């Protein structure tokens, strides 16, 4: 089992050791966004390293078992999961994938930015479906809802803009009443289910999103824990831990594998004529390990595709 669980990560790192042709360093018009990075952790908190690479701390832990959350650490060869397969949704406007705790913003079919997020807790789930950005506000005032006030009766009627405002510095208001996309004054919330249904971003990410998203932008919220996509004519698979596994990861720095879903039909359909080249052993390992990183599943030994950035030095 240990060999099986580690094989997906070994596939990624084996590709990282290969020389990268110049053409592979440019952005490809396909299903892969970004590139993995491998860096060293030098007497630093995981949260600080994660935020510097625009990741959540739990994303980093999922990709690198054994890292702790609250103690400065030193470790070489830490993999940054900074490559993502694009979700299976229309590439227009804001797309939120709850299962990977990540937001994507597309304009005219092109990915403009992606960022880690916090989503609604179990009793106040961020709803699935489609919405629209109704208005935007820099320096928003927070008005607690009736539900929030019922749970926390000592809250004031309104919280003005400032460092104690839970909406952060910027907010996008949706045509779903009480649901917003906004900043987070608590960076440890990112990557977790800690909101009452809103979508939160790091302050630097909500600032960037606020600047480029116009009123009227469509918002699509989906839940895709497993994604498939093509890059350089090869098929990749990406799988994320579920809520229980993330909770285990937070306390134990690894998580218990669960039986993988039966995705043979979906993968075979996606692979099409390349179905004969699918490495089903790699598929099983990816679905059990759930590192949150894209891993090649067609012909990985005969045509390994490097998706690691060779020039990262921070």
Closest to 241 (Cα-Cα) out of 296, 308, 188, 293: 293
Locus of tokens 């060999």: 3
Q: How far apart are CA 93 and CA 33, in angstroms?
A: 16
- Residue 56 structure tokens: 């959540």
- Residue 110 structure tokens: 């092109």
**Which residues make Cβ contacts (< 8 Å) with residue 256, sequence separation at least 6?**
245, 248
53 is catalytic: no
Q: Which of 198, 231, 262, 303 is catalytic?
A: 198
- The CB density around residue 187, as the number of other CB atoms within 10 Å, is 17
182 is catalytic: yes
What Cα–Cα distance (Å) separates residue 260 from each residue in 180, 242, 288? 34, 12, 6
Q: Which of 124, 170, 182, 231 is catalytic?
A: 182
Provide Rg for the chain, Cα atoms: 20
Catalytic sites, residue numbers? 182, 198
């Amino acid at each position: 089992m240990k060999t099986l669980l580690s094989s997906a990560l070994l596939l990624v790192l084996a590709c990282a050791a290969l020389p990268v042709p110049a053409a592979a360093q440019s952005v490809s018009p396909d299903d892969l966004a970004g590139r993995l990075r491998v860096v060293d952790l030098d007497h630093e908190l995981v949260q600080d390293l994660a935020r510097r690479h625009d990741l959540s701390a739990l994303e980093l832990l999922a990709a690198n078992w054994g890292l702790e959350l609250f103690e400065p650490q030193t470790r070489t060869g830490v993999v940054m999961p900074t490559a993502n397969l694009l979700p299976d949704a229309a590439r227009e406007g804001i797309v939120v994938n709850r299962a990977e705790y990540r937001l994507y913003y597309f304009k005219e079919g092109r990915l403009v930015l992606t960022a880690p997020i916090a989503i609604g807790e179990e009793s106040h789930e961020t709803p699935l479906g489609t919405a629209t950005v109704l208005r935007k506000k820099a320096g928003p005032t927070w008005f607690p809802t009736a539900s929030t006030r019922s749970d926390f009766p000592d809250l004031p009627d309104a919280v003005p803009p400032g460092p104690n405002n839970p909406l952060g510095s910027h907010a996008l208001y949706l045509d779903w009443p009480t649901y917003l996309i906004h900043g987070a004054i608590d960076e440890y919330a990112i990557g977790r289910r800690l909101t009452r249904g809103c979508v939160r971003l790091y302050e630097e990410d909500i600032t960037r999103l606020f600047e480029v998203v116009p009123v009227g932008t469509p918002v699509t919220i989906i839940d895709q824990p497993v994604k498939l996509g093509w890059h350089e004519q090869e098929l990749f698979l990406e799988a994320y831990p579920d809520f229980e596994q993330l909770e285990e990861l937070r306390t134990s720095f690894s998580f218990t594998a669960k039986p993988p879903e039966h995705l043979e039909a979906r993968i075979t359909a996606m692979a099409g004529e390349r179905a004969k080249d699918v490495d089903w052993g790699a598929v099983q390992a990816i679905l059990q390990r759930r590192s949150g990183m894209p891993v090649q599943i067609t012909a990985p030994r005969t045509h390994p595709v490097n998706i690691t950035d060779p020039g990262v030095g921070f």
